[in-house]
Amino acid sequence: MLPRLSQIARHLSTPPLSSLRSPRGPSAIARMAPSGERNARMIHTAACLVIGDEVLGGKMEPVLTYRKTVDTNSAYMAKWCFSLGINLKRIEVIEDDEGEIVEAVRRLSGSYDFVVTSGGIGPTHDDITYQSIAKAFNLPLKLHEEALERMKRLSKPHPSQPTFSYDDAESPAVKAKLRMVELPTDDSRDLSAQCIFPHDELWVPVSVVNGNVHILPGVPRLFVTLLDGLKPHVLPRLVDPEGKGITRILISTPLAESEVAAYLTHLAAQVEPKGVKVGSYPRWGELRNTVTLVGRDEAFLESLVAEVETNVQGKRVATEGEDDVVVADKDA
């Protein structure tokens, strides 16, 4: 009897390490540099992999953290990369499925310099990120002793577990906690390069796998804190070591997009060799639209402003919508 199509599809959905293909041609894994080299080379590009059924199921809500509303961890990652001048090339959202995680993390690790994953590293059955990423790179999961000691010292017992003790090694609760400090480990590499503790007051580690995959929690407050804490580790490997990032200039225009399309097409072709991207964004329901100039050469961007303002009959603004006109209600 022929195997069921669903079984064949499941088999094909998780390609073996040797056959993984990059969208850009050769085997991504085959052309990977050694882990140690990836861990030290310059960072030009980045990718973010968000893992979790709750994200795809619509459970996640905007979270207020550090007095800012963060819609998603990937949105914060995008702003973080932009501020440092890192080109965030890809954001993916996948479910808590081992095959999906294995395929995605192999591919992203082979294609981008700096990869961050978000979610799936808690104590419950559906938190399978560590084990899946370990499988992706043929690594064992090993108890990280420093992470465990930090957990014991810095984590507070939950109100529902007033008598919790790490001494009871056979306790289901202890075993569940230990899952959060059992990390993918490459015995051929320096352990300190595989686990980073960005903040002294947090026990949560950032596990670094295959030299460029950084595993972060999905809880927005922790994600933001740990990602910010990685900045000192990233800065020396940036094209701009001062971390000045990318400049974005906003120009508000009263003209329709179709009216400025020809000029912006011409402008984009002219400035592309200088690494400048020209954007046009409609603002539905408003009288003014937005044109953007984005690039690393701030002086060159500034030299374009007057010309663009003239050609789109607009003016530079600091924030989108700041020059909107509020029309009073005639019946008021």
* pLDDT for 260 beyond 80: yes
* pLDDT for 67 beyond 60: no
For the chain, the structural domain boundaries read 35-237, 247-317
CA–CA distance, 245 with 87 (Å, rounded to integer)? 10
CATH for 35-237 is 3.40.980.10
Query: Can you give the pLDDT at residue 161?
Result: 85
Nearest to 92 by CA among 122, 27, 48: 48
The pTM score is 0.75
86-108 residue pLDDT tens: 999 999 999 999 999 999 999 99
CA–CA distance, 23 with 28 (Å, rounded to integer)? 9
What's the average model confidence in pLDDT over 168-173?
Answer: 85
Find all residues with CB under 8 Å of 238, minimum gap 6, and list them: 42, 43, 84, 85, 86
* pLDDT for 57 beyond 90: no
Tokens in use for 272? 């592309």
* pLDDT for 204 beyond 70: yes
User: Which of 64-78, 106-120, 129-143 is the least confident region?
Assistant: 64-78
DSSP letters of 107-137? HHHHH-SEEEEES--SSSTT--HHHHHHHHT
Find all residues with CB under 8 Å of 66, minimum gap 6, and list them: 221, 224
269-318 residue pLDDT tens: 999 999 999 999 999 888 999 999 999 889 999 999 999 999 999 999 99
What's the average model confidence in pLDDT over 128-139?
Answer: 97
What's the average model confidence in pLDDT over 158-168?
Answer: 84
235-244 residue pLDDT tens: 999 977 665 6
Task: Let me know if 217 is exposed, middle or buried by CB neighbors in 10 A (0-12, 13-18, 19+).
Answer: buried
CATH for 247-317 is 3.30.70
Mean pLDDT, rounded, of the chain = 84
